[in-house]
Chains A and B, each alone.
Chain A
Amino acid sequence: MGHGSEPVIRQVKRLGRGGFPVAAFSRIVQAAVTAFAATVIVWALLPLAPGDVATRVLLARGVDDPSPAEIASTHEELGLNNPLHIQFLDWITLVLQGDLGQSFTSQLPVTKEILERLPATIMLLGLALVFSMVLSLLFALIAAGYRDRWPDRLIRLYTQIGAALPTFVFALLALSFVVVGFQMGRVLSDATWTAALIPAFIIGLDRAASWTQLLRSGLLSAMSSGYADVARARGASERRILLRHALPNAFLPFLTAIGISVGALIGGAPLIEAIFTWPGLGAYLLEALSARNYPVIQAYVLIAALSYVSAALLVDLIAILLDPRLRRHTS
């Protein structure tokens, strides 16, 4: 018990008074700094890329053999003769206006191309997130409820395999054995809910492995805590202790892990989308990578980084809202 003999409930109330706005502000400032650092790194992708940017742009525009005059005028057009900090300011100003540049290959605005593909990616990742949350919740509860018995052992085996194998291995196995082997689903998918089921399940299954491990250990730790013993002494069943006492306590770290994993989810999507020919942002990124289409790569990395920062911020805010003890460090 902290703060001498002051009861915990009073400590929590004291910390909670006026602590949330300060803590939230502090988290928002941290997130803004991280986001700014990410934009600098993302922007640096283009000027630091090997070769001349103007030549790349001209080649992508179909000018097979750009002359020195064309290259010079493209340097002028793209502002490449300006000092780097001015180039960055120009770029960030456009980004803030929603202009992510022009694709080297299609010469269309990257923002437009991204917006066309975004719904498919949201559909796939959204479904994957639902699958992974449901699966991890279910598996963790079963594993904790049947600790050291065969359901727990089986689930632990799955979590170890899931943590060890990269998602694309699951995806390739699913394509070869489920889709082609059992003729379930299609290799070349469209952005429909039916087509999303298998790839979303694969992503969900993979992600759920580590989340299950985390939630299971949180549940087991809560089940062996003092308040669980008190509940047991009062005659509460193991199921009631698991669901009413252990789960709410173990849920916060689980929620944090989910928030942090959103970035990984977006970062890991390209391979899965490519394997399942899913017409989303991931496949768009892979295509851009092979064509060295830097504006698209920049946009994708920026979106992934900002999604990660936003999700982490959201989780932080929820956490400090739910748990007043977390406000102490910042206040």
Chain B
Amino acid sequence: MTIKSLALGGALILAACPVMADDIINMATSFQIRSMDPVKQGFWMQEFGQGELLMKFQPDGTITPWLAERLERKDDTTWVITIRDGVTFQNGKAMDVPAVLAAIAYHRERNSGTQAVVPAEAEFTQTGEREITVTTGVPVPELPNILAHESRLMIIDVEPVLAAGDNYEALEGAGIHTGPYKLVSLDDQRMIAERYDDYWRGKPAMAGVELRFVQDANARILAVQNGEVDIALYPPIAAAPVFKATPNLNLALGPLSTGGFVGFMDVTNGTFEEKAVRRAAMLAMNYEEIANAVFHGAKAPATSLYNPNFPYAVENYRYDVEEANALLDAAGWVREGDTRQRDGETLSVTIMIYPQQPDLVPLSNAMQSYLSAVGIASNIVSVDSVREAAMNDLVDWDLALSATGTATVGSVSGFLNRYVSCEGDRNYGGYCNDKVQELITTLDVTVDEELRYELLREIQKIVAEDDPYIFNLTILKERALVSDAWSNYEPAVAWNHIKWDTAPNQ
């Protein structure tokens, strides 16, 4: 046998072998990680397998230990955190109590998001080898959620961070996190991370991660189709039928998220000053159809202000055209042809959307048709920023749509205080209901779980039934576009896209 024939045989054998799956996770996302600044960009590290938190948010709305082994509430203002044993930072240093306290102090000093939720008088003190006692001064019922929020208290090795100063590039490869994959390189195109062999849960499933920053959704889709990436985040739902018909493209759907598309009604001005019209508009929405037809089943029908899996969520949304019509009739709005009139005025609303969320276009179109079915005429206006337009009266609007979480990592307080409370900085519609205000204020200092649930149920009832203002149109399902080899990938809640056991199909 000549060398030539041996080489040919070898080549044929190689050609006949199936292409081996890459031993790294190739992922594409639309957002760019700009630096390793732990304050402004550090939250990304939880999403792609580098950073970890003391607590973890679960799809059923509960919070479970992560880097903490236990979190106990002793009384309304005292909590005890027991940190997990045997955890090390990726640079080999032990994650002990002083290291955790240093990380907490670092964020409390520099991160305005942390400062907004952790009272200034709160103290974190070492009270045992693995024990931290937290005295909050005032009740902080959502402390578990704060510890589970990627933008609040990420556990990092502070020493190299302080040594690096503003030179965040120096942190690449410095192993400041505890997660399964260590970031070794970051530029404006990609992030590269390597497996951390001494990871506390065991050997991570893959050799590393290559995360590409690809803003164009079409390029992300084609990259999966072409086998260049395994998982693409933020696929456009409108293209769901195309995914179904294209080889090597699979839309992976995960559990329900903590939010969706929320509608805010302007209650101080125009059509929605009338409660009956607000209630009728909510009853006119076909929530099932929005989720299953408009969004091809990639979203779930909204049944209340919250994810239906959460223990405090009620089911008080209905699609009832008859009742909507009856409410409008009773309010003196007389149907004349396609619209309703009263004192020579046509019943009409303006729906406000923004271009950064392309899914708002099919949603607002569907809403127009539902409103029209009960005689409410509508038009759509698109603005740069709903927040700016609403808060500065840049355009006339009646119903603003926004992609907003009503219970981000299970925390309800932030949303209610900012969007629903009388003085909330994002109370777009000028809503102020005394009872709701009282309930929110009570909720803010109520630690007992069952009592909190009762308060939340009452709030949901008022804002949907008695004095409607804000409502979910649909609940988001976590989703990603994956190749055939990764068709079992399950998108996770709280943006935790890569976990230590994330791997292709067996």
Residues of A within 8 A of B (CB): 50-52, 55, 62-65, 105-106, 116, 172, 175-176, 179-180, 183, 186-188, 190, 274-277, 279, 283, 286-287, 290, 292
Query: Which residue on chain B has the smallest CB distance to residue A290?
Result: B356
A-B contact pairs, 26 of them (CB 8 A): A50-B383, A50-B384, A51-B385, A51-B392, A51-B394, A55-B388, A62-B39, A62-B40, A62-B112, A105-B34, A106-B34, A175-B218, A175-B222, A179-B226, A180-B226, A183-B226, A186-B226, A187-B223, A188-B214, A274-B216, A275-B216, A279-B188, A287-B32, A287-B215, A290-B215, A292-B385
Given known A-B contacts A277-B219, A279-B188, A187 and B226 have beta carbons under 8 A apart: yes
Q: Inside 8 A of A283's CB, which chain B residues have their CB?
A: 215
**Within the assembled complex, what's the spacing in Å between the Cα atoms of A287 and B216?**
9
Q: Inside 8 A of B385's CB, which chain A residues have their CB?
A: 51, 292
Q: Inside 8 A of B228's CB, which chain A residues have their CB?
A: 186-188
The answer to whether A188 and B219 have CB atoms under 8 Å apart is yes
The answer to whether A275 and B388 have CB atoms under 8 Å apart is no
The answer to whether B214 and A275 have CB atoms under 8 Å apart is no
**Within the assembled complex, what's the spacing in Å between the Cα atoms of A65 and B40?**
15
Q: Inside 8 A of B384's CB, which chain A residues have their CB?
A: 50-51, 292
**Within the assembled complex, what's the spacing in Å between the Cα atoms of A187 and B394?**
40
The answer to whether B212 and A188 have CB atoms under 8 Å apart is yes
Given known A-B contacts A50-B394, A186-B228, A188-B28, A179 and B222 have beta carbons under 8 A apart: yes
The answer to whether B226 and A274 have CB atoms under 8 Å apart is no
Q: Inside 8 A of B28's CB, which chain A residues have their CB?
A: 188
Q: Inside 8 A of A50's CB, which chain B residues have their CB?
A: 383-384, 388-389, 394
> Which of A52, A179, A186, A277 interacts with B392 by CB under 8 Å?
A52
**Within the assembled complex, what's the spacing in Å between the Cα atoms of A65 and B115?**
12
Interface hits, B25-54 → A, CB 8 Å: 28, 32, 34, 39-40
The answer to whether B219 and A51 have CB atoms under 8 Å apart is no
Given known A-B contacts A50-B388, A290-B356, A275 and B34 have beta carbons under 8 A apart: no
Given A106-B34, A188-B28, A188-B214, 9 other A-B residues pairs in contact with their CB atoms under 8 A: A51-B394, A62-B40, A179-B222, A183-B226, A275-B219, A277-B212, A277-B219, A286-B215, A292-B384
The answer to whether B112 and A274 have CB atoms under 8 Å apart is no
**Within the assembled complex, what's the spacing in Å between the Cα atoms of A183 and B248?**
14
> Which of B112, B225, B425 interacts with A180 by CB under 8 Å?
B225
**Within the assembled complex, what's the spacing in Å between the Cα atoms of A188 and B226?**
10
B386: shortest Cβ distance to chain A, in Å? 12
Main secondary structure on chain B at its contact with chain A? loop
A151: shortest Cβ distance to chain B, in Å? 34
**Within the assembled complex, what's the spacing in Å between the Cα atoms of A65 and B225?**
41
Q: Inside 8 A of A286's CB, which chain B residues have their CB?
A: 215-216
Q: Which of A52, A276, A283 has the most CB of B within 10 A?
A: A283
A124: shortest Cβ distance to chain B, in Å? 15
The answer to whether A64 and B219 have CB atoms under 8 Å apart is no
5 interchain residue pairs of minimum CB distance: A51-B388, A187-B223, A187-B222, A274-B216, A180-B226
Q: Which of B215, B222, B223, B228 has the most CB of A within 10 A?
A: B222
Interface size range of chain B in the complex: 20 to 34
Q: Inside 8 A of B189's CB, which chain A residues have their CB?
A: 190, 279
Q: Inside 8 A of A52's CB, which chain B residues have their CB?
A: 388, 392
The answer to whether A180 and B394 have CB atoms under 8 Å apart is no
**Within the assembled complex, what's the spacing in Å between the Cα atoms of A31 and B278?**
58
**Within the assembled complex, what's the spacing in Å between the Cα atoms of A190 and B187?**
12
The answer to whether A274 and B219 have CB atoms under 8 Å apart is yes
The answer to whether B113 and A64 have CB atoms under 8 Å apart is yes
Q: Inside 8 A of A190's CB, which chain B residues have their CB?
A: 189
Q: Inside 8 A of B218's CB, which chain A residues have their CB?
A: 172, 175, 275
> Which of A51, A55, A186, A277 interacts with B216 by CB under 8 Å?
A277
The answer to whether A187 and B388 have CB atoms under 8 Å apart is no
Query: Which residue on chain B has the smallest CB distance to residue A287?
Result: B215
Interface 1/0 per residue, B405-441 and A, CB below 8 Å: 0000000000000000000010000000000000000
Query: Which residue on chain A has the smallest CB distance to residue B26?
Result: A188
The answer to whether B394 and A176 have CB atoms under 8 Å apart is no
Query: Which residue on chain B has the smallest CB distance to residue A175?
Result: B222
A32: shortest Cβ distance to chain B, in Å? 34
Q: Inside 8 A of B324's CB, which chain A residues have their CB?
A: none
**Within the assembled complex, what's the spacing in Å between the Cα atoms of A180 and B222?**
7
The answer to whether B214 and A64 have CB atoms under 8 Å apart is no
B475 interface contact, C-beta 8 A = no
Q: Inside 8 A of B206's CB, which chain A residues have their CB?
A: none
Query: Which residue on chain B has the smallest CB distance to residue A66?
Result: B425
**Within the assembled complex, what's the spacing in Å between the Cα atoms of A287 and B79?**
44
Q: Which of B39, B229, B388, B392 has the most CB of A within 10 A?
A: B388
**Within the assembled complex, what's the spacing in Å between the Cα atoms of A55 and B388?**
9
> Which of A62, A183, A187, A290 interacts with B219 by CB under 8 Å?
A187
Interface hits, B260-286 → A, CB 8 Å: none
B144: shortest Cβ distance to chain A, in Å? 22
Q: Inside 8 A of A186's CB, which chain B residues have their CB?
A: 226, 228
**Within the assembled complex, what's the spacing in Å between the Cα atoms of A292 and B356?**
11
The answer to whether B229 and A188 have CB atoms under 8 Å apart is yes
